[in-house]
Amino acid sequence: MSIHVVKRDSLSFGKKVLIYLGAVAAALILGGLLLLAMGVDPVAYYSRMFTMGMIGNKIAYKAAENYLKIFVPLVVTSVALSLAFKMRFWNIGGEGQFILGAVAAATVAFQLGPILPQPVTLLLMCLAGMLCAGLYGVMVAALKVKFGTSETLLTLMLNYVALYFITFLGETQAAWNFYLDEESVRPIFANFSKIVSFPSIPIGKFGLNVCVIFAVLIGILIYVYLKYTKQGYEIAVVGDSPGTAHYAGMKVNRIILRTVFLSACLIGLAAAFKVGTVGILSTTVTDDVGWTGIIVAWLAQLNTIAIFVISALIGVLQYGSTAAAATFAQVDSSFADMLQGAILFLVLAADFLIRFRVVFAKKGGLTNGNG
């Protein structure tokens, strides 16, 4: 008796979804076992988590607002990353690009916020964030195009450069450092939400931040861009076969530079949305969206619509675990990270089941020579 792994031909959409849901369920069961070991009732915990503590809460709309604050940067970053991934450019420098974008946007807020009208400042914040992040990303693309360097390594390392840069800003008290709070003795970042912040559209008690609308707009635009435009077509060809793109007379290098710039720009925009909403810099300003975005983009198989769905779900995990931590003090909110990891791992494992099936070699007909 031996086990064979055999390639599957195709699987219906429904079955695929079922297998993925199974993987998510398995991850939740795994997490549930851990919760049991900690003496927490998994059902109670999960129900608190997935409702994000909104049920029976008098200020549920606040929870929804805060949830969207997590969702927006994540979804925009994921969409941005999917652009580069579609071209098989492994931009794992979302973190670094996000930080630079955030610092640039904050700079505009501190320096121009008090002088200019708010809408102009916000627009300039977005542009500054996009430009800085874009340049930070395109630099790597330029090196790849010119010298054939590995974008994976460079974007990865530049994440740390950016992280130490913002740490330096946050810890260095000096006359020039306008990022810090002047009142405080210890070095802490100053809050500029009094000067400038993205407005909300009131719907009853609930305030819909304009960034949410922008995020949806960006999603639609990128979907159309990838699917229907010439540039999107070029990205797909370069990603699929650079040799073919070259043979078709495409300017491959220019396409790479353009696409990476656009990808990094959007990450910068996500950063501007974030700082323009929270009104403060921090060394953890990214909330790890540069990493999580990679996971989202891949789980969604680079499909823009799926990215929105998965970002929403991951946002629920992250925000829900914080909400649940208020009730279940013994479970740290980083439980969500673990659960997220388990889900990713099991969904990828499920991918194997979608592409292959395991069969047990049977003896039949004539004897099997390799029995």
Partner 1 sequence: MAEQFAIEMKGITKTFGSVVANNKVELNLKKGEILALLGENGSGKTTLMNMLSGIYQPDQGEIRVDGKPVTIASPEDAKALGIGMVHQHFKLVEVFSAADNIWMGKEKAGFLLKKDRYAQIQAMAAKFGFELDPSKKVYNMAVSEKQTLEIIKVLYYGAKVIILDEPTAVLTVQEIEKLFQVLRKMREDGHSIIIITHKLNEVLELSDRVAILRKGEYIGTVETKDTNEQELTEFMVGRKVDLNIERPVVEKTRPLLEIRDLTIRNDEGAVAIDHVNFYIRGGEILGVAGIAGCGQKELCEAIAGLRPIEGGQMIHKGDNIVGLSPKAILDKGIAMSFIPEDRLGMGLAPSMSITDNMLLKNYADSKGIFVDRDLGRADAQHVIENLGVVTPSTETPVRRLSGGNVQKVLLGREIKAGPNVIVTAYPVRGLDINSSYAIYHILNEQKKSGVGILFVGEDLDVMMALCDKIMVLCHGRMMGVVHAHKVTKEELGLMMTGSLDLSHRYEDKPAGFAKDTNFVQTDEEVEP
The residue length of the chain stands at: 371
Nearer to partner 1, 29 or 358 (CB): 358
H or E element at residue 130: helix 118-147
**Cα gap 235→259, rounded to integer Å:** 7
How many CB atoms lie under 10 A from the CB of residue 219? Answer: 19
Q: Does 202 bind partner 1 (CB under 8 A)?
A: no
**Cα gap 352→358, rounded to integer Å:** 10
Q: Considering the complex, what minimum distance in angstroms separates the CB of residue 13 from partner 1?
A: 16
Which segment (271-279, 285-293, 306-314, 361-369) binds partner 1 by CB under 8 A? 361-369
Strand partners, 206: 203
Q: Does 184 bind partner 1 (CB under 8 A)?
A: no
Q: Considering the complex, what minimum distance in angstroms separates the CB of residue 319 from partner 1?
A: 36
**Cα gap 54→74, rounded to integer Å:** 21
Q: Considering the complex, what minimum distance in angstroms separates the CB of residue 229 from partner 1?
A: 5
Nearer to partner 1, 284 or 367 (CB): 367
Q: Does 370 bind partner 1 (CB under 8 A)?
A: yes
Angle between helix 335-355 and helix 304-327 axes, rounded to 10 deg: 140
Q: Does 371 bind partner 1 (CB under 8 A)?
A: yes
Interface with partner 1 (CB under 8 A), residue total: 32
Nearer to partner 1, 175 or 366 (CB): 366
Token pair for 309: 């769905």
Q: In the set 1, 3, 7, 13, which binds partner 1 (CB under 8 A)?
A: 7
Nearer to partner 1, 8 or 15 (CB): 8
Q: Does 186 bind partner 1 (CB under 8 A)?
A: no
Q: Does 182 bind partner 1 (CB under 8 A)?
A: no
Q: Considering the complex, what minimum distance in angstroms separates the CB of residue 7 from partner 1?
A: 4
Nearer to partner 1, 19 or 312 (CB): 19
Question: Tokens 């940067």 appear where?
Answer: 73
Q: Is 215 exposed, middle or buried (0-12, 13-18, 19+ CB in 10 A)?
A: buried
Q: Does 353 bind partner 1 (CB under 8 A)?
A: no
What is residue 191's DSSP assignment?
B
**Cα gap 343→27, rounded to integer Å:** 5
Q: In the set 1, 3, 6, 115, which binds partner 1 (CB under 8 A)?
A: 6
Q: Does 148 bind partner 1 (CB under 8 A)?
A: no
Nearer to partner 1, 4 or 205 (CB): 4
With beta carbons less than 8 A apart as the criterion, state whether 81 and 74 touch: no
Strand partners, 3: 360
Ranges within 216-255 binding partner 1 (CB under 8 A): 228-233, 236-237, 240-241, 243-249
**Cα gap 332→45, rounded to integer Å:** 12
Among 233, 226, 261, CA closest to 141: 261
Nearer to partner 1, 186 or 362 (CB): 362
Nearer to partner 1, 12 or 367 (CB): 367
| Intra-chain end-to-end CA distance of the chain, in Å | 7
Which residues bind to partner 1, rule: CB under 8 A?
2, 4, 6-9, 228-233, 236-237, 240-241, 243-249, 361, 364-371
